[in-house]
Structures are given as C-alpha cells and as structure tokens.
Amino acid sequence: MQKAKRHSIEEPAEIRSRRFQGLEIDPFSVMVYSFVLLRMNDLRGEFKRMANTILIGSQWGDEGKGKVIDVLTSKADWVVRYQGGNNAGHTVEIGDQKYVLHLTPSGILRPGVKCVIGNGLVVDPVGLMAELQELEGRGIDIKDRLFISDRAHLVIQYHKELDGAKEAKLSTGKKIGTTKRGIGPAYSDKADRTGLRMGDVLEDDFETMLRDRIAVKNALLAVLDTEPLDADGLVKTCTEALDYLKPFICDTVPMLNAAVRDPEQNVLFEGAQGVMLDIDFGTYPFVTSSNTGAGGVPAGAGVPPHCIDEVIGIVKAYTTRVGEGPFPTELFDEDGKQLAEVGREFGATTGRPRRCGWFDAVVARYSAQLCGIDRWALMKLDVLDGFDTIKVCVAYECDGKRVDTVPASISKLSRCKPVYEEFKGWNSSTCKAASFDELPEQAQKYVRWIEELTGVPVSVLSVGPKRSSTIELKV
C-alpha cells in the first residue's frame, strides 16, 4: 500500500511571493489555486493510491475478513478494530496453524504491526485476557504492539446474563438470534451513559463503580426471573482480568491521528460483522448494536473522515447469515446443503451453522452504495467448483413489483422473493490457480459478471483458506 503526502501542495509562486512580502491574500483565491493544482496533479497521475484503508464485510458477516486482513497486513503498519465486541470472530490459517481472533486485531499475527482496539468497541476483559494469553502461549509477541482505547466500554458478566434473559423472554419469530455475549446490553449502557470504560479501570474508585452497577443489574435480573450474580466473585474475576490488561490501556486518539497523517504509515481499519447487520442500515431489528459500515470508522476509531483513502468490501461468491431475520436468497435444498458442507459454514465465535444462499447482488450494490466501496475481495470462489448451475439474485419481487434495493421495512423484506439469473458452472477445481488467467474460463466470467452486476471491480480473489490461496487482480 502506498500513501501520498497529504496537504503537500505548494502554493503558486506568485501567491507565495506576495505572502512573504507581507501582503494580504484573498483566502478564496488561495483555495481555488490549491484546488486547481490538486486536480492537475491528480490528472497527471502524480497522486498514487493512498493507504488508510477500511476493510468491511458487505453481507451479513462471516465473509472471510480475517484472511483478507491477514493478507493486507503484510503492507500495513497499523490494524485497527473500530466497532463490535467478541460476538464476531476472524479465522486466519497460516501454514498448519489456525487462529480464531474475537477482539484482537488480525494484524497481531504479523510481526511488527501495531494493533488498536478502538473506542467504538465493547470489550469483555475476561475474554480478551484469555485470547491474548493464548496468543502469547503460541509464541505471538504482543508487548508494545497492542493498544486498547481508554474510551472503549466494558462488557461485564451482568451484560451477558441480561442478554440471555431478554432473549429468552421473546416469543418465537421475534428472537434476535443474539450470541449472548452481552454486546447489546453493553452498548445500551453506553447510550444510557451508565457504562464503564477502560479508562475507569485506572481510577482508584473503580471497584466502587463496579459494585454499584452490579447492584442495579442484579435488580434487573430479578425482574427477568434470573438468579443474581455474586458481587464479590464478579469483582474478583474482573479485577484479575483488568490487572492483566492495564498495561495496554491508553489514549489511542493521538497515535492514530499521527499515523493516518504520516505518509510513511499504512493504517488498516478492520470491521467486524457485515453491513447488513449495521444498527442503522441492516435488517433491523435483526442486527448487531454498532455501525458496521465504513461510516463507523471516524466515530469508532477517532480519526477524521477525510483521512480515509480507500474502502474494500468483502463478499463471498455466495451468501450466508447467522441468526434470525429475513434472508431472501436462503436455500433449503441440496444446493444449500452443498454450500454449507463445502464451505464449512459454521460460526467462528458460536459454532452455529450458517444459513446459505446464492449471491445477492442487491445486497452487494446496497453495501457498495452505503460505504463507497472501491473494490471487492471476493471470497470462497472454490466453494462453487462443483455446481452445474449457479444462480445470482439480481433484484427482488415484492407484492408483484420489482425491488432493486434493500427495503427498510423488515416486513417488506420478508416478503421479497429473489429474481434470479442463471450461470453455467465450471465443474473443475479453482484451488490451485495462482493467477486469474489460470482459473477456468467460466469462473473468470462469473467474477466479471459479479463486477458488472455490482459496479465494483474485484481486486482480491480467494480460492481456499490458506494465505497462499489468494489471487490479486489489477484494477
């Protein structure tokens, strides 16, 4: 990844000369001159692709972000998580080693890459400690490489208990399909301004703050017919984990703002879940509790929007989702079973089987529109190797009318039926292809078809779970 120097346009000589002579210059004229120079330089090709990059899931999560992030981190200096919690997992396979990361940025597997857990996350300290200790036990050095925002909120055991208790009270058809990791209740406390943050851990009265909240939450649990938590035991468990994490807690805003402005530094912002689980733009209420799209980066990492240079969207060559909620292209036949079995479609965090369906171009276009996606990383093309016929959803039909975007109404989306176009399969392996030209001709055509339907080029293509099973395309 390469980054041009920001704000490095020189003033026109005449303006610079007059300024040095102490004359007043019309600010609007300076702005116009600067814009013209910027545009001219751009047209001359003097500005190379810059490298503050957002990588996001563009379906319902589980698209294979961990692998792509791992590949891209070979060029990154920083990898930053900006939203979510340990309700999502990234699986990375390196050689014969398999790593499943829930809170730790995937860059931790690349020596020398600095990793940030941003303010937009909700952090389970017990879970994070276990994750980091496992990494250390496997020889991964995290010292002076991991930084946890002091503004990130904590997930405490009472959040998990409330998460499960509330879900249990919902009737069939209204259950969200929560992972019961306490994510929703933790974000609720954040919005209610009653949450605890990582920075609070460094205060002398943290135990008092924690005990006060345990008392309040135990009262809520009683209303939900759930056993109260043992305050002393919970305080002890939290304290032990937080004592381990204290050396990593800091103000991450200055370091990240310095990095995104440094032309020698490449920063990769790593999303969790997918755009269709975004709290605002996803299939609400069957969503997560944070902004999963590109718009979540400025608020969740503390960097200005204009410092973002590129957005890469991750999509599978088909579609999956975990949990409840509408899923227009979901398959209940042998094709669906084949996608699940060949694709090993089980959640990295929960182990739950994923629901499988054909590629949904409506969803992909919607995500590209919302997030300004510049290019795709198309994952798991190899899973389609054994199909005679492949279908792609190009639109929906609802109540007799064609629908070309994702409706906000969950009732309307539930009534949407996929409008399919069929594509002849290639019935041969793509797994050993080292370049685009080595793919079967029909597989190449399928990739180009996805590009045409979505209006976004494919620049990364995955044909297997290993680092080496990745093809980079020129766009």
Catalytic residues: 62, 90
Read off the amino acid at residue 326.
Answer: P
Q: How many Cα atoms within 13 Å fall on the side-chain side of residue 218?
A: 13
- Single out the residue of 116, 129, 331 nearest to residue 242, CA to CA: 129
46 in Cβ contact with 262 (< 8 Å): no
Could you give the CA distance from residue 458 to residue 449 in angstroms, rounded to a whole number? Answer: 10
Q: Which residues pair with 197 in a beta bridge?
A: 153
Point out which residues pair with 397 in neighbouring strands: 402, 417
What does residue 423 show for φ and ψ, rounded to 5 degrees? Answer: -135, 135
320: tokens are 């999956």
Helix ranges restricted to H, 170-293: 183-191, 206-223, 231-245, 253-261
Alpha helices, H only, 22-87: 27-43, 65-72
Q: How far apart are CA 91 and CA 66, in angstroms?
A: 5
Specify whether the backbone of 401 is left (phi greater than 0), alpha (psi in -120 to 50) or beta. Answer: beta
Q: What does the block give as tokens for 378?
A: 């198309």
H or E stretch covering 269 = strand 267-270
Q: Is the dihedral of CA 345, 349, 355, 361 positive or negative?
A: negative
Q: Residue with structure tokens 């050993």? A: 432
Burial of 94 (C-beta count, 10 Å sphere; 0-12/13-18/19+):
middle
Q: Which residue has the tokens 């999502």?
A: 88
Q: Facing residues of 98 across strands?
A: 93
- The 8-class DSSP code of residue 173 comes to T
Helix, strand, coil: what percent of the chain each, to 5? Answer: 40, 20, 40
Separation of alpha carbons 117 and 318, rounded Å: 30
Q: Which two tokens stand for residue 308?
A: 């973002």
* Closest residue by Cα to residue 297 from 322, 268, 329, 264: 268
